[in-house]
Amino acid sequence: YLTATGRDKARVALVEAYAKAQGLWIDDSSEDPVFTDVLELDISTVVPSLAGPKRPQDKVELTTAAPQFETALTDIFNRPSDAPRAAVDGQKFTVGDGDVVIAAITSCTNTSNPSVMLGAGLLAKKAVEAGLTVKPHVKTSLAPGSRIVTEYLEKAGLLPYLEKLGFYLAGYGCTTCIGNAGDLTPEINEVITKNDLVAAAVLSGNRNFEARIHPNLKANFLASPPLVVAFAIAGNVMVDLMTQPVGKGTGGKDVYLGDIWPTPQEIDENLRYAMNAKAFRANYDKVRTDPGEFWTSIRGTTGEVYDWPTSTYIAEPPFFEGFEMTPQAGAAPGFQGARIMALFGDSITTDHISPAGAIKESSPAGLWLKEHGVAKADFNSYGSRRGNHEIMMRGTFANVRIKNLMLPPDDKGTQEEGGYTLFQPGNEKMAIYDAAMTYIDQGVPTVVFGGEEYGTGSSRDWAAKGTQLLGIKAVVARSFERIHRANLVGMGVLPLQFRGADSWQSLGLTGHERIDVVIGGELRPQMDVKIVVHRPDGSQQEATVRLRIDTPIEVDYYLHGGILPFVLRQLLEG
């Protein structure tokens, strides 16, 4: 692999020598290695699969994708099974539930696999030759992680066929997978939102959490590049690609997936275009010598210390404001009279907590950008503005699909979505950011309650940073994702875990209560902590939870107010 991708000969030799010296090298003459655990996979059970519609771990076999989505329409999305299709203003086509409106060959991982990329190109070639076209409501794009991909697709003669189906090169790097697909047309956006349609994206990306791909798309499926092309042609995720036609080709003939699916031999014949060391070296050299006019036009600052010029993209963060050499947390941290900021269900992801996609114009972050002279067309995304805490703290818990169960459902039983809370006292509905700033001004601490797998998903540091900047002192959940739990501790936020079958539901919380967190004695890893619930009627209830500060060094981090002040104090003392 290293040789075929143009690595330096000396480095290739070094890797080989190191692998042999460490006992990592294996070939036909090697003894069978001894493993602690051996996992067996019956490859006859492997079938074409998707993941979705909301999480990458939710596997869907292609054979059952259509009926599963039909069930999800009513069970998950609360849509009638017979909802009519809606007309698109100024267009001759209609859009309905399950329609694919984004089809993207993208991501750093799938596009690094020549077999599936060549497979997508070969499928496109056969589809074009069969007379198939992409449905008019589908926005298509090709965004590989490297220039080498478009080069070998071009040399194999496959790029023109992808382009005929609309898969033109959009750029290199993170696009649709991180919410950088660009917007849909105003007409498509309007018909989706006006009719509350469950439209879909199909992409060869790594993540598909709610509102990550596009704020108006409720269903997002991860698929291989060839299947992305196939679904773009089929136009709807409820088309059973294993039994139904992908579309109608020349002369109205039904064309099935098996008619256009490339054979292993066809892919192997084209691999010679992909594994070309000379091409890899030439492309990498071009990145260094000719990065492009936009890159070279960027002017950097000079000097030994960054002077923080005014920018809506990067700003000096407040994490060291009021810094002192002596920690202020004390030996037995706890707090009283906290208000509940949110009551969440299971699987609240880091994308829910700190979205990476588009910034809504009416959101606190959007309003801040407009106040600072940024036009909506230049909002960009949360991910691109992660260097500015003013944006990111306003974006915390601002995912358009997040459900704060403090807010009552509507008459149809549908839970309201979006980053809102009920400010107490008074039960006033407002954005979580606005409520957080008011609580901070009043000196009132806040807590968040969650269910299972709190913080699952991408290891996004801003999910913990934003939580801290909103003045949230603790997150109480039934379980935590490993990295997010550690990040909360690193930002000085207490992760507290319910014991046994306890939950915020079993405590009967509504969001009107006040919460005390009582830590008896010296802070210790995984110690028992008492929470006291004070209800509006004057009654109170106690529950024991487990402190999920898991190690002694994490205790030190927390007592210092987080890992950042801890490290700074260590450096200054040294």
The pTM assigned to this predicted structure is 0.88
* pLDDT digit string, tens, across residues 328-355: 754 457 999 999 999 999 999 999 999 9
β-pair type (200-203, 219-222)? parallel
Residue/partner pairs of 499-505 with CB below 8 Å, 24 or more apart: 499/544, 499/545, 499/546, 502/478, 502/543, 502/545, 503/451, 503/478, 504/343, 504/449, 504/450, 504/451, 504/476
Dmax (CA) for the chain in angstroms is: 81
CATH class assigned to 335-354+396-573: alpha beta
Put residue 310 in one of left, alpha, beta given phi > 0 → left and psi -120 to 50 → alpha.
beta
Instruction: Let me know if 317 is exposed, middle or buried by CB neighbors in 10 A (0-12, 13-18, 19+).
Output: middle
Within the chain, all domains assigned CATH 3.30.499.10 are found at: 48-77+85-280
Structure tokens at 51: 């993941």
Which element (helix H / strand E) includes 219?
Answer: strand 219-222
End-to-end CA distance of the chain: 45
d(CA 155, CA 276): 11
pLDDT of residue 331: 44
How is residue 299 annotated by DSSP? P
CA 544 to each of CA 339, 482, 519, 522, 527: distance values in angstroms, whole numbers, following the listed order: 18, 21, 11, 17, 10
Instruction: For 244, list phi and psi in degrees, rounded to 5.
Output: -100, 160
Q: Which residues contact 246 (CB under 8 A, 6 or more apart)?
A: 127, 132, 230, 233, 234, 239, 255, 256, 257, 260
Query: pLDDT (tens digit, 0 to 9) for every residue of the chain, 574 residues total?
Result: 999 999 999 999 999 999 999 989 999 888 888 899 999 999 999 999 999 999 999 999 999 999 999 999 998 898 988 899 999 999 999 999 999 999 999 988 889 999 999 999 999 999 999 999 999 999 999 999 999 999 999 999 999 999 999 999 999 888 888 888 888 999 999 999 999 999 999 999 999 988 889 999 999 999 999 999 999 999 999 999 999 999 999 999 999 999 999 999 999 999 999 988 999 999 888 888 988 899 899 888 888 999 898 999 999 999 999 899 988 754 457 999 999 999 999 999 999 999 988 899 999 999 999 999 999 999 999 999 999 999 999 999 999 999 999 999 888 778 999 999 999 999 999 999 999 999 999 999 999 999 999 999 888 999 999 999 999 999 999 999 999 999 999 999 999 999 999 999 999 999 999 999 999 888 999 999 999 999 999 999 999 999 999 999 999 999 999 999 999 999 999 8
Structure tokens at 141: 């794009």
HSE toward the beta carbon, residue 574, CA cutoff 13 A = 6
Q: b/e string for 43-75 if b means 16 or more Cβ within 10 A?
A: eeeeebbbbbbbbbeeebebeebbebbeebbee
Structure tokens at 317: 């963060």
pLDDT of residue 333: 75
Question: What DSSP string runs through 221-258?
Answer: EE--HHHHHHHHHH-BTTS-TTTS-SEE-GGG-EE-HH
Within the chain, all domains assigned CATH 3.20.19.10 are found at: 335-354+396-573
CATH class assigned to 48-77+85-280: alpha beta
* Closest alpha carbon to 4 in 235, 333, 277, 354: 277
* Closest alpha carbon to 52 in 193, 185, 188, 231: 231
Instruction: Let me know if 145 is exposed, middle or buried by CB neighbors in 10 A (0-12, 13-18, 19+).
Output: middle
CA 211 to mean position of chain CA atoms: 9
pLDDT of residue 412: 77
d(CA 222, CA 204): 5
pLDDT of residue 160: 98
